[in-house]
């Protein structure tokens, strides 16, 4: 909702009264272009596009101002596109004034957005939905205990709705075959895993200095040899050049090279012009180029760096985490033959006393091929000292696949070339690579441990007998659990048993033969779809099992666990107080992370956070690890508000932040160490606290180097003020007239306000974006900004955040802006409620849901916008409990 509703929004309120009961659907609003705009059409369009003239075969005089069909929407869309593109009215015709054009475009694009919504409204139809990619993965995990790589499945969602919305979840023949293949892979893993359950726990301990230092010493030796050979060789060339008979030739070479920075080394490369020089082969090299390259880099780059490494105080008892060619990670593979399961990695680790904060972190992950390829799993703060090293523990789940080599390294960007950049930067400064600051005494792997996640026990795949009867037993057990309450037909089981028998007859062993029918279970509709059969037109209440499924897929993106299942079976789950207690339990669980990552990521448009590698010079610390932490701040703050019984208002403004050690240091908040996110009280005057103070939000509103007020403003009106602007219109001409001028960000973007095609939307969000300019692209506070243009110069300016909401109040600075947004908690709650409903119900929220939404918002308001109560209320509603 806006600060001042336009005539159209007013009309919506009149036509869609909020007094209807939940089961009654209100008619969709009528969509009309305001009558006051008829004059515009008449003045600038109808002269050519009337009944007689119909220029370009376009007639507009009979255009209805009510837009209620695809045809009328398409005609108006064309009018909108023509004016936006600047083609109409034609240059030689009468032109509308800027103001009139802006207002007409604003009205038309808003109305078109609404018309599309009304015409495309799905009603309250809830269409049967397939498990989306995330849910499929989690459902396999709970059923079989296997973390399956599902990257081969297509990405769900796309036409702008959540990935839980049934109508958008399609199926194709290729996808069906993927399910068969993925199921088979999961079954293979699960069988190996279940056999390993009885495996003895083992441990592999490495004193790293014995493992690594010998190798490093060899490297030192090799480089010393190279350096010595090069020195010997150059001495020999020098001696030769000093002989009178070579003086002329040497002088000639020197003259040619004079003025070049590398004249001296180049001189040696031309050694063969001096007669009688010793060949490089006798120095152990193939040609002058390689002796020059290896000799010089060994002497000039490698040796000083390696020597520096060994000058560090604790290389005799452990190793340092270096970069580039110096011990750039510590790898410790899970030995071959160790069974799959859960393992613990341990490192005894410390940071040097003079290490700056940004170097006191390690990344844990999988080292790929190449110098600095790395797949990040987690980031950890190093709080240990040489006197008191810490033991860092990381849990991993290991399959039978190939990714069994885990490693740690000093935190840095995960981008090809980073190590080289770091080395070169240090080399330019001090003549060698960076001094290592993180020290590891030893590393250790232990496992497998029993699954400690507290998740459901995987279904048993073993049977009493290894024959058709045994197979039937397993098939029945797996299918019953996999179908989550949907009926298991005897005929289906018989077909699968016959498949098993066919595989046995073909020569498969029992387990192998079982994989075939079981993979069919995992590709069958009863597994892949959330089934709530109802052939009739009237909604019916869900039964206990169906409700349990809805609850757990809503809050866990996973099937019900044993407790929910028992309550479903007894029917107790249908009691509101039992359901509330279960909602609380599901939210308190670690599995609620699946909701946070599923819902918040989509609702807040957070895919944009992954769009950019942040500029490493301007935003050194905003690397891959910081991005993960910034994203988690959004998730964990939301989780904190819900779990602690807080108010949704805290998402807009609060006196605390939920951060971990890494993010706290980015923000300059003292006294927070370690990897866990926790609530931290903020000092007075802090810009943190609430979504608008979060690095992730500002980073998303940037291009990785500079802030983007447009993106930030759009984000605020869309997600916080529930007033989404129309989609960026096609074919609007680019603004180019400011080319080559040195301007502030605001000056550049003010051009938007002068062109009606731009102004009609940009006036709504650009000013908000300007109000957030005190945050740079990495979300750090700033008071100055600068703009550099190659060949023209640099401009620096003090940031002026003052502005005014479109048809709304003014603000002097970010803090006032934040307060004005926080005052709109009701509007924010409406947006969140609609999104939550769409995600939970798996269908778009349409006009017929007006009463439902309004009722929920009113109830929330009465409960001080309690976040947890909103979850209770949503799951209480008839819409959530019926199909």
Partner 1 sequence: MHTPLNRRHFLRSASAWIALPAMESLGFRAFSAPKVSPPPKRMIAISFGYGITNETWFPDPKVTGKEYRLSPGLEPLKRHQSRITVVQGLTNKFSNEGHWGSTFYLTGANRYAVPGTNFFNSISADQVVAEAFGKETRFTSLQLNSADNKDSGHGPGLSLAWNRQGKPVAGMESPLAVFQKLFGSDDAPLAERQRMLLEQRSVLDAVNAQAKGIAKRLSRDDRDKLGEYLQSIREIETRLAKDESWMGRPKPKTELRQPPEVPANGIEEVRLMHDLMIAGLRTDSTRVITYRQPHWNLMKALDIDYHPHDVSHYAPGSRMEASQKRDRKMSELLAELIDKLAAVKEADGSSLLDQVALSFGSNIRSVHSLDNCPTILAGGGAGLGHGRHVVASKDTPLCNLWLTLIRGLGVEAERHGDSTGVVKELLG
- Residues 165-184, interacting with partner 1 (CB under 8 A): 166-168, 170-177, 180
Question: From the CB of 82, what's the least distance to partner 1, in Å?
Answer: 11
Binding mask 365-384 for partner 1 (x = CB under 8 A): --------------------
Q: If binding is defined by CB under 8 A, does position 835 make contact with partner 1?
A: no
Q: Write down the least CB distance from residue 263 to partner 1, Å.
A: 31
299/518 with CB nearer partner 1: 518
CB 158 within 8 A of CB 175: no
Q: Figure out which of the listed residues 14, 24, 155, 617 binds partner 1, where binding follows CB under 8 A.
A: 155
**233 three-state secondary structure:** helix
Alpha carbon 662 to chain centroid distance? 18
Least distance between partner 1 and beta carbon 760 (Å): 15
Give residue for tokens 């498949």: 499
Residue closer to partner 1 by CB (options 127, 239) is: 127
SS in 3 state form for 779-840? CCECCEEEEEECCCEEEEEECCCCEECCCCCEECCHHHHHHHHHCCHHHHHHHHHHHHHHHH
Please provide the DSSP assignment of 259-274 as one string. Answer: T-TTHHHHHHHTGGGS
CB 151, CB 68: distance < 8 Å: no
Q: Which stretch binds partner 1 (CB under 8 A): 243-251, 430-438, 523-531, 553-561?
A: 523-531
> Does 341 help bind partner 1 (rule: CB under 8 A)?
no
**Per CB under 8 A, which of residues 592..651 are in contact with partner 1?**
611-613, 615
Which residues between 421 and 480 bind partner 1 (CB under 8 A)? none
Burial code of 660-682, b = ≥16 C-beta within 10 A, e = fewer? bbbbbbbbebeebeebebeebeb
Q: Based on CB atoms, which residue is closest to partner 1, 486 or 691?
A: 486
Residue of 513, 464, 520, 530 whose CA lies nearest to 493: 520
Residue placing its CB nearer to partner 1 in the complex, 168 or 560: 168
Indicate the residue among 17 and 417 with the shorter CB distance to partner 1. Answer: 417
Q: Should residue 844 be labelled a site residue for partner 1 when binding is judged by CB under 8 A?
A: yes
| Residue 526 makes contact with partner 1 by CB under 8 A | yes
Asked if 739 touches partner 1 (CB under 8 A), the answer is yes
The conformation of residue 598, written as its DSSP 8-state character, comes to I
- Interhelix angle for 133-144 vs 173-196, to 10°? 30
Q: Residue 89, preceding bond cis, omega within 30 degrees?
A: yes
CB of residue 740 vs partner 1: minimum separation in angstroms? Answer: 7
Q: Which of residues 665-704 bind partner 1 (CB under 8 A)?
A: 703-704
CA distance 103 to 80: 12
**Tokens at 764, concatenated:** 């709504």
- Closest CB to partner 1 among 704 and 808? 704
Site for partner 1 in 116-135 (CB under 8 A): 116-117, 119-123, 125, 127-129
Q: Per CB under 8 A, which region of 154-162, 292-300, 395-403, 622-630 contacts partner 1?
A: 154-162
Distance from the first to the final alpha carbon of the chain: 30
Residue 484 zone, left/alpha/beta (φ > 0; ψ -120 to 50; rest): left
By the rule CB under 8 A, 158 interacts with partner 1: yes
* SS3 of residue 27 by DSSP: coil
Cα angle 530, 532, 534 (rounded to 5 degrees) comes to 145
Least distance (Å) from partner 1 to the CB of residue 224? 35
Q: How far apart are CA 684 and CA 777, in angstroms?
A: 23
| Site for partner 1 contains 534 (CB under 8 A) | yes
Under the binding rule (CB under 8 A), the answer on residue 853 touching partner 1 is no
- Cβ nearer to partner 1, comparing 48 with 682: 48
Q: Quick check: 8 and 114 in contact, CB under 8 A? A: yes
Q: How far is the CB of 90 from partner 1 (least distance, A)?
A: 12
Question: 66 - beta bridge partners?
Answer: 32
Residue with tokens 């987690």: 378
Within 8 A by CB and 6+ apart from 806, the residues are: 2, 3, 763, 764, 767
Figure out which of the listed residues 5, 683, 727, 809 binds partner 1, where binding follows CB under 8 A. 727
Phi/psi at 163 (5° precision): -80, 10
Q: How far is the CB of 46 from partner 1 (least distance, A)?
A: 20
User: How many residues form the binding site for partner 1 (CB under 8 A)?
Assistant: 82
Our CB check for partner 1 shows the closer of 609 and 695 to be 609
Nearer to partner 1, 347 or 847 (CB): 847
536 binds partner 1 (CB under 8 A): yes
Ranges within 697-726 binding partner 1 (CB under 8 A): 703-704
List residues bridging with 390 in a β-sheet: 349
CB nearer to partner 1: pick between 278 and 539:
539
Binding partner 1 (rule: CB under 8 A), the pick from 293, 529, 781, 797 is 529
């Amino acid at each position: 909702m806006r600060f001042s509703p336009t005539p159209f929004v007013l009309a919506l309120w009149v036509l869609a009264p909020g007094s209807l009961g939940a089961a009654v659907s209100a008619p969709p609003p009528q969509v009309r272009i305001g009558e006051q705009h008829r004059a515009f059409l008449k003045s600038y369009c109808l002269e050519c596009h009337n009944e007689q003239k119909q220029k370009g075969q376009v007639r507009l005089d009979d255009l209805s101002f009510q837009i209620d069909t695809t045809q009328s929407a398409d005609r108006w869309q064309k009018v909108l596109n023509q004016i936006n593109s600047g083609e109409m009215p034609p240059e030689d015709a009468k032109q509308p004034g800027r103001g009139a054009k802006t207002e007409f475009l604003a009205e038309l694009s808003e109305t078109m957005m609404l018309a599309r919504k009304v015409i495309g409204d799905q009603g309250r139809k809830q269409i049967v939905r397939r498990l989306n990619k995330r849910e499929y993965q989690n459902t396999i995990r709970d059923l079989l205990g296997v973390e399956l790589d599902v990257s081969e499945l297509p990405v769900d969602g796309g036409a702008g709705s959540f990935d839980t919305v049934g109508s958008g979840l399609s199926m194709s023949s290729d996808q069906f075959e993927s399910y068969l293949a993925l199921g088979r892979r999961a079954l293979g893993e699960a069988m190996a895993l279940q056999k390993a359950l009885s495996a003895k726990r083992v441990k592999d301990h490495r004193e790293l200095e014995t493992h690594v230092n010998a190798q490093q010493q060899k490297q030192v030796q090799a480089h010393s040899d190279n350096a010595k050979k090069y020195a010997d060789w150059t001495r020999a060339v020098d001696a030769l050049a000093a002989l009178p008979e070579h003086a002329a030739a040497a002088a000639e070479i020197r003259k040619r090279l004079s003025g070049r920075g590398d004249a001296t080394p180049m001189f040696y490369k031309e050694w063969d012009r001096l007669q009688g020089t010793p060949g490089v082969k006798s120095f152990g090299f193939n040609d002058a180029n390689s002796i020059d390259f290896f000799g010089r880099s060994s002497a000039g780059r490698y040796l000083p760096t390696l020597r520096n490494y060994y000058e560090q105080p604790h290389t005799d008892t452990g190793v340092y985490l270096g970069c580039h060619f110096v011990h750039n990670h510590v790898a410790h593979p899970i030995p071959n033959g160790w069974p799959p399961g859960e393992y613990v990695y341990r490192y005894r680790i410390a940071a040097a006393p003079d290490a700056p904060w940004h170097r006191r972190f390690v990344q844990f992950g999988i080292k790929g091929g190449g110098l600095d390829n790395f797949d990040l799993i987690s980031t950890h703060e190093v709080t240990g000292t040489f006197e008191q090293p810490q033991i860092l523990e990381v849990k991993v789940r290991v399959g039978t696949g190939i990714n069994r080599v885990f490693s740690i390294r000093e935190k840095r960007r995960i981008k090809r070339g980073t190590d080289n950049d770091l080395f070169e930067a240090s080399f330019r400064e001090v003549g060698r690579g960076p001094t290592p600051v993180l020290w590891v005494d030893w590393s250790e792997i232990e496992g497998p441990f029993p699954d400690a996640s507290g998740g459901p026990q995987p279904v048993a795949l073993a049977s009493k007998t290894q024959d058709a009867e045994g197979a039937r037993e397993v098939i029945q057990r797996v299918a019953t659990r996999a179908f989550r309450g949907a009926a298991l037909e005897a005929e289906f089981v018989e077909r699968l048993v016959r498949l098993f028998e066919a595989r046995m007859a073909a020569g498969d062993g029992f387990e192998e033969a079982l994989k075939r029918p079981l993979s069919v279970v995992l590709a069958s509709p009863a597994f892949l779809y959330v089934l709530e059969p109802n052939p009739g037109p009237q909604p019916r209440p869900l039964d206990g099992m169906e409700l349990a499924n809805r609850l757990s897929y809503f809050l866990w993106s996973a099937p019900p666990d044993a407790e929910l299942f028992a309550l479903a079976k007894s029917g107790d789950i249908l009691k509101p107080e039992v359901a509330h207690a279960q909602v609380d339990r599901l939210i308190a669980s670690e599995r609620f992370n699946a909701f946070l990552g599923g819902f918040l990521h989509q609702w807040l448009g957070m895919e944009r956070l992954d769009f950019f590698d942040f500029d490493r010079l301007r935003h050194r610390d905003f690397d891959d690890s910081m991005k993960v932490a910034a994203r988690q701040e959004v998730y964990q703050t939301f989780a904190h508000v819900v779990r602690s019984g807080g108010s949704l208002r805290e998402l807009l403004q609060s006196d605390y932040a939920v951060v971990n050690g890494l993010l706290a240091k980015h923000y300059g908040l003292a006294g927070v160490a370690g990897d866990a996110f926790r609530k931290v009280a903020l000092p007075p005057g802090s810009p943190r606290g609430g979504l608008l103070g979060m690095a992730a939000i500002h980073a998303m509103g940037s291009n990785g180097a500079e802030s983007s007020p447009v993106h930030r403003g759009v984000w605020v009106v869309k997600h916080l003020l529930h007033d989404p602007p129309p989609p960026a219109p096609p074919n609007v001409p680019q603004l180019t007239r400011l080319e080559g001028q040195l301007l502030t960000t605001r000056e550049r973007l003010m051009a938007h306000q002068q062109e009606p095609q731009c102004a009609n939307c940009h006036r709504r969000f650009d000013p908000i974006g300007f109000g957030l300019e005190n945050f740079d692209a990495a979300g750090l506070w700033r008071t100055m900004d600068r703009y550099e243009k190659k060949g023209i110069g640099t401009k620096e300016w003090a940031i002026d955040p003052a502005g005014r909401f479109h048809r709304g109040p003014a603000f002097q600075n970010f803090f006032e802006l934040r307060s004005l947004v926080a005052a709109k908690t009701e509007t924010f709650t409406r947006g969140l409620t609609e999104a939550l409903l769409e995600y939970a119900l798996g269908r778009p929220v349409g006009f017929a849901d007006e009463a439902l939404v309004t009722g929920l918002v009113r109830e929330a308001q009465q409960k001080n916008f309690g976040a947890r109560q909103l979850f209770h209320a949503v799951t209480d509603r008839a819409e959530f409990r019926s199909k």
